[in-house]
Amino acid sequence: MILIVDDKQENLISLKKFLESNNFKVHTASSGEDALKKVLKTTYALIILDVQMPGMDGFEVAELISGYSKAVDTPIIFLSAVNTEKKFITKGYETGGIDYLTKPFDPDILLLKVKTFYRLFEQAQAMHNMQETLKQEIEHRKLLENKKDEFISIASHELKTPLTSVRGYLQLLERLPETTNNEKYKKYLAKTSAQLDKLRDLIDDLLDISKIESGKMKFNFQHIPIKKLVDNTIENISQMHPKHTFKRYGDVDTFIYGDEMRLEQVLINYLTNAIKYSPNSTEIHIESKMTHDHKVQIGVRDFGIGIPPDKISNLFDKFYRVEESSYKFQGLGMGLYICKEIIARHKGEYGVESELNKGSLFYFRLPLN
């Protein structure tokens, strides 16, 4: 829809017929006040505005129209038979016009300009509508995300109680004489215990994600010796995986300020992944060093399957799993996301270096103070 504003009826009628003959829908207004009333009610793709009008002139009308949020993007073409000097043309652009034509004008030129500005307005409107649709979809995604996080929190808490009960009954079974004297029973119970450990780790990850999303993950910051952190981690992982060899490289003898339990959780996750994705290797390296910008870097290097270069940037995203390995190796893709959040709370950095079929280095860097 196009709005023509002119105080002379003969101009309105002739220009209206001209545009309608070229398939444009047209409204007319014979004064500035009338134009403003129409702009409040209707969204126009283009306004053709006469400059010299009694009462409120075209420049005043343009300034007021530009103040309406509904019409702020509507293009305005000024038409004038009297105010043809440079100072008036300049004022037309300053008050919000995108073009200034003097009468008599070439109808073909005017038609080209109208078509161009009309199309640009339609494209702008389409872009605006697309943005609104996307905004609504994002708000909908956020709502679903919040519901999912709420479900994860409730489900993980509810699962914790029966898991504790099952673990207790399993320990009772392990102490029965019928079990201690029967290797078959002991073997079955050991497998059951291992599966319960996996379920416990899964629930713990779900609880951690719930705490992260709600901002309730607690941290106990204190000064930690790097050597002690690495030593404790190696001791714990060695007990869980006695068939693997964990070699330590670098001996950074300094302190960092952080949560020892959470940082050990990050290292355990790195090491567990290194073991999982290195099915043909039993050697894992734990490397620590000082960086050139006075940060401590601790990394875990494996000699496994490696990661495709185009997948590395997404590894620390929530629930992300590399497609090539997702069918071979179990997991929900939560561990590295939790690691990222823990490192972020320590104002640290994280990263990965990897080469297909040669292995990977997962590391994090923490400031000394």
> pLDDT tens digits for 221-258?
999 999 999 999 999 899 888 999 999 998 788 899 99
Are 2-105 and 145-214 equal in CATH topology?
Answer: no
In CATH, the architecture of 222-367 is 2-Layer Sandwich (3.30)
* 8 A C-beta contact, residue 362 and residue 300: yes
- Sort 315 into a burial class: Cβ within 10 Å, 0-12 / 13-18 / 19+: buried
Pick from 6, 87, 21, 93: nearest CA to 53: 6
The residues, ordered by sequence, that sit 6+ positions from 57 with a Cβ below 8 Å of its Cβ are: 32, 51
pLDDT of residue 130: 84
Starting at the earlier edge strand, list the strands of the sheet with 359-367. 245-249, 283-290, 295-301, 359-367, 349-355
Residue 326: is its pLDDT beyond 50?
no
19 versus 320: the higher-pLDDT residue is: 19
Determine the pLDDT at residue 287: 94
| Gap between the Cα atoms of 213 and 150, Å rounded | 9
Q: What is the rounded (10 degree) CA torsion for 201, 204, 208, 209?
A: 70
> Would you state the pLDDT for residue 327?
42
Interval 338-357 mean pLDDT:
92
The fold for domain 145-214 equals Helix Hairpins (1.10.287)
Domain extents in the chain: 2-105, 145-214, 222-367
Is CATH 3.50.50.60 the right assignment for the domain spanning 2-105?
Answer: no
Q: Between 172 and 98, name the one with better pLDDT.
A: 172
Q: What is the mean pLDDT of residues 78-105?
A: 73
**Euclidean distance between CA atoms 61 and 96, whole angstroms:** 10
Mean pLDDT of 40-44: 84
Q: Which sign, positive or negative, has the C-alpha torsion 78, 82, 86, 91?
A: negative
At residue 154, does pLDDT exceed 60? yes
pLDDT at 328 exceeding the cut of 70: no
Q: What's the confidence (pLDDT) of residue 330? A: 55
Overall average pLDDT of the 187-194 stretch: 83
Q: Is the pTM here over 0.85, yes or no?
A: no
CB 4 within 8 A of CB 21: no
The band of 285, judged by pLDDT with boundaries at 50, 70 and 90, is: very high
Identify whether the C-beta of residue 170 lies closer than 8 Å to the C-beta of residue 193. Answer: yes
| DSSP SS3 for 181 | coil
pLDDT of residue 108: 83
- Mean pLDDT, the chain, integer: 83
In terms of C-beta density within 10 A (0-12 exposed, 13-18 middle, 19 or more buried), how is residue 143 classed? exposed
Are 367 and 361 in contact, with CB atoms under 8 Å apart?
no
